[in-house]
Amino acid sequence: MQKFTIHTGLVAPMDRENVDTDAIIPKQFLKSIKKTGFGVNAFDEWRYLDQPGQPGVPESARKPNPDFVLNQQRYQGASILIARKNFGCGSSREHAPWALDQFGFRAILAPSFADIFFNNCFKNGLLPIVLPEATIDMLFNEVAVHPGYSLIIDLDQQVILRPSGETIPFDVIAFRKYCLLNGFDDIGLTLRHKDKIQAYEANRLATKPWLAHSLVQAKA
């Protein structure tokens, strides 16, 4: 998993409440579990006018929706998304943070998130930040007024640096912060103990050699 330490990124606004996971990545794109190739179909029903989109159709063959915010030239390459309350509601599909990450987003700022989506973000290298509605309103206004508006997010210090030089503090659970700073997903956390796991397995087979024969039979 990609580490998140300090990130500087262009900000894109999504001025909608209750953005659900089916909007983030529609159900017809959930057939793959490879965790790759979902970015092109993020927000598919909003980004394109030819509906519904289908897996395997190249982006060049689609008709973009010029009115959708992420298709606007000023937000191309944005890596920080600001949104309204209850972002990521709906079904618990982990494909939603996969799609957002592969679209290019590293962080999402909103007044609130759906719980399962919020947890899935941390497990996939995406930083969801909860901020007061008044702060989110301020950011929406600043993005609208200033083309090219960027923020700096310092996870270690837990602050967001605005172009004015002012900072916005945010909270994050210490364990989640540790995992993001080090790039540890659930597998990565386990592999920290790889030597101990291998030593345990070796000792178990040395003291109980019949287990090796049992394992071979089970695999057969």
What is the phi/psi pair of residue 64, to 5°?
-65, 150
Mean pLDDT of 145-164: 97
In a domain, residue 158? The reply is: yes
Average pLDDT, the chain: 90
Q: Which domain holds residue 144?
A: 6-184
* pLDDT at residue number 138: 98
In a domain, residue 1? The reply is: no
Q: Are 158 and 209 in a shared domain?
A: no
Q: Are 208 and 174 in a shared domain?
A: no
Quote the CA–CA distance of 81 and 128 in Å, as a whole number. Answer: 10
Instruction: Please calculate the CA angle 191-197-200 and round it to the nearest 5 degrees.
Output: 175
In a domain, residue 68? The reply is: yes
Closest-CA residue to 129 (of 83, 78, 166, 93): 83
- Return the percentage of the chain with pLDDT > 90, whole number: 71
* pLDDT at residue number 113: 98
> Is pLDDT above 70 for 213?
no
What is the chain's percent helix, strand, coil content, to nearest 5?
40, 15, 40
> Is pLDDT above 90 for 131?
yes
Q: Are 210 and 138 in a shared domain?
A: no
> What's the pTM?
0.86
Q: Name the pLDDT band for 194 (thresholds 50, 70, 90).
A: confident
Q: Are 133 and 36 in a shared domain?
A: yes
In a domain, residue 173? The reply is: yes
Quote the CA–CA distance of 201 and 128 in Å, as a whole number. Answer: 38
* pLDDT at residue number 170: 98
Q: Are 127 and 194 in a shared domain?
A: no
Q: Name the pLDDT band for 211 (thresholds 50, 70, 90).
A: low
Q: Are 114 and 212 in a shared domain?
A: no
> Is pLDDT above 60 for 42?
yes
> Is pLDDT above 70 for 166?
yes
> Is pLDDT above 60 for 215?
no
Mean pLDDT of 151-157: 98
What is the count of structural domains for the chain?
A: 2
Higher pLDDT pick, 199 / 133: 133
Q: Are 72 and 172 in a shared domain?
A: yes
8-12, 59-63, 188-192, 215-219: segment of lowest average pLDDT: 215-219
* pLDDT at residue number 216: 47
Q: Are 62 and 142 in a shared domain?
A: yes
Work out whether strand 80-83 and strand 6-14 pair parallel, antiparallel, or are unpaired: parallel
Q: Are 95 and 37 in a shared domain?
A: yes
Q: Are 141 and 193 in a shared domain?
A: no
